Amino acid sequence: MKINYYQLSIRQLNELLKTKAITPDQLTKLVYKRLTQFKKLNAIVTSLEQYAIKQTKLITEEEINNNLLAAIPFVTKDNIATINILTTGSSKILANFIPNYDSTVNKLLTNKQAINIAKTALDELGMGGDGLQAATGHVLNPWNLKHITGGSSSGSAALVAAGIVPFALGTDTGDSIRKPAAYCGIVGFKPTYGLISRNGVFPYAPSLDTVGIFTNHVEDIAIVLDTIALPDQQDFTSVESKEKDYTKNLDENIKAKNIAILNYNDYQWNDTVKSSFDEAIKHLTDGGAKIYQIDFDKQLLQSLLPVYMIISFAEATSCHANLTGINFGIRKNGKTYQEVMTNSRTAGFGDMVKRRYIIGAYALSESHQEELFNKAKKVRQLIVEKLNAIFKKYDAFIVMPTINPAPTIKDVLEQKKVIKSEHDYLEDLLLLANLNGGPSITIPLTTFNGLPIGFSINGAPCNDQVVLNIAWFLSKRINFTNKLLGDEHE
């Protein structure tokens, strides 16, 4: 019997394993066969094939019968530490870094006998939004290789979209899971800040960094979340939510839910995308939810990107001060330790990272800290207060992660050569959930010109279940097909 495993959810794969229609070893081999077929995506930093095959042999029948994640393959973004396994952050300066410690999130999954099959490429150290900044080169969108995946969790998004694994780990500091999910036609979830431990995850901006999940099915988000959403004393930002059993509490009943949507009336967008958006909203009203169109202070929305940039770049400058090439990483020679640091960082960092460090250092400098960094934090607080007011009245807030499909790699590279006089703030709306720490999920909505576009649902901090339930409801009603999960690649 031919098994197209890549079309299946975690629960469906578990059923095949329980009935012995497929063995853990066979499933792992199928994963690596399909990974070879999609090698052109350039989504992998390190393959863990020998490790993965060894791990499958340790899985017992009892574990498969009582554990949905046993023998289920996944991939990990390469800024998440894996003990005794190369972890580079997709940066040249860490090209030889093998941690002697394990991230909490990887440990929780491997303890459940989930099989980590690869470390995935990202925009260097999480700094980038296009998937073009990894030391290993551009990560390509599996829907169309001429287009970007989005970033920074580009490799993880590409491999889930291609059906190679049913779930993947990423990190989201400023839409780094949800924007790639929108561009790749998959589900991307950023939970409440602190819900998933960041212990062992390379920091970018600690006041924003969040570990999250990619899948093709909303239920799979809940299944993985049940394993990794645990308080951790090794993470000082870890929070314990009153919510438990996310999978058990998935519920399509959205009656009496009050849902706000951003007022897009004045925005000129494509008729195909707009009609798909309107249809999704109609599904919600048909399901008994009450929809309210609301305005959001335009000045605050226009400030989203600069506030995010100043805060995150400044925090990155501080967090990455240990990347000197002296204690670990790639070292370049010099006559003094200052020369060693300068030479190592000059050779080890890409242009995007260097640019962000310079801006961050400038924002933190004594003469500009009040004008830039402190002011950015004050504006962030205004944004948070506005969102708090919204979530006092509404159970969820819906925005579009983007109303355009993924741009071409060529266009993105050309745009980097010029400084724009204007910026479309509606492309930055996913930053809202980073700034207030609330849960946010992107699900596929439609396709335009053969490329996917997503739909984003946001909630108040620690209201992850509400967000998941609305996404669960919509995913069963939105008519979206991932063309990559057909048989043409077999």
User: What residues have CB less than 8 Å from 12, skipping those under 6 apart?
Assistant: none
Q: What's the average model confidence in pLDDT over 159-183?
A: 98
What was the pLDDT predicted at 304?
A: 97
Whether 315 shows a pLDDT value over 50: the answer reads: yes
Catalytic residue, candidates 90, 153, 176, 238 = 176
| Residue 423 clears pLDDT 90, i.e. is over it | no
pLDDT surpasses 50 at 490: no
Q: What is the pLDDT of residue 266?
A: 77
Q: Is residue 17 over pLDDT 80? A: yes
Q: Is 416 a catalytic residue?
A: no
Domains of the chain are 5-255+398-485 (3.90.1300.10), 298-379 (no CATH)
Mean pLDDT, the chain, whole residue set: 96
> Helix (H, G, I), strand (E, B), or coil: what is residue 92?
helix
Q: So what's the pLDDT on residue 254?
A: 97
Selecting among 91, 103, 152, 303, the annotated active-site residue is 152
Cβ–Cβ < 8 Å for 468, 222 = yes
Burial (Cβ within 10 Å: 0-12, 13-18, ≥19) of residue 302: middle
Is 33 part of the annotated catalytic residue set?
Answer: no
**What is the DSSP-derived secondary structure letter of residue 6?**
G
Distance CA 175, CA 145 (A): 22
DSSP notation for 73-113: EEEEETTB-BTTB---TT-GGGTT---SS--HHHHHHHHTT
Per-residue model confidence as pLDDT tens digits over 122-159: 999 999 999 999 999 999 999 999 999 999 999 999 99
Q: How many CB atoms neighbour CB 216 within 10 A?
A: 24
Give yes or no for residue 459 having a pLDDT over 50: yes
Q: How far apart are CA 154 and CA 121, in angstroms?
A: 7
Return the H-helix or E-strand segment holding 445. Answer: strand 440-448
pTM of the model: 0.97
- Beta carbons of 31 and 22 less than 8 angstroms apart: no
pLDDT at 489 over 60: no
- Element spanning 119, H or E: strand 115-120
H or E segment to which residue 156 belongs: helix 154-161
Q: pLDDT tens for residues 85-103?
A: 999 999 999 999 999 999 9
* β partners of residue 76: 119, 169
What is the Cα–Cα distance from 377 to 373, expressed in whole angstroms?
6
Q: What are phi and psi of 93, to 5 degrees?
A: -70, -20
Confidence grade of residue 488 (pLDDT, cut at 50, 70, 90):
very low
Given this model, what pLDDT does residue 416 score? 83
In 287-444, alpha helices (H):
298-319, 337-348, 351-364, 375-393, 409-415, 431-436
Respond yes or no: is residue 77 known to be catalytic.
yes
For Cα atoms 63, 69, 70, give the angle at the middle one, nearest 5 degrees: 35
Q: Is the pLDDT of residue 419 over 80?
A: no
Structure tokens at 28: 């792992």
- Given a cut of 90, whether residue 6 has pLDDT beyond it is yes
Residue 346 pLDDT greater than 60, yes or no: yes
Q: Give the pLDDT mean for 221-240.
A: 97
Label residue 437 left, alpha or beta by phi (over 0 means left) and psi (-120 to 50 means alpha).
left
How sure is the predictor about 421, in pLDDT bands with cuts at 50, 70 and 90?
Answer: low
- Take residue 447 and report the two structure tokens written for it: 């396709």
Q: Are 272 and 453 in contact (CB under 8 A)?
A: no
Q: Measure the CA dihedral 410/416/419/424, to 10°.
A: 70
Q: At what angle do helices 10-18 and 24-37 cross, to 10 degrees?
A: 140
Task: Report the run of H or E that residue 442 belongs to, with start and end.
Answer: strand 440-448
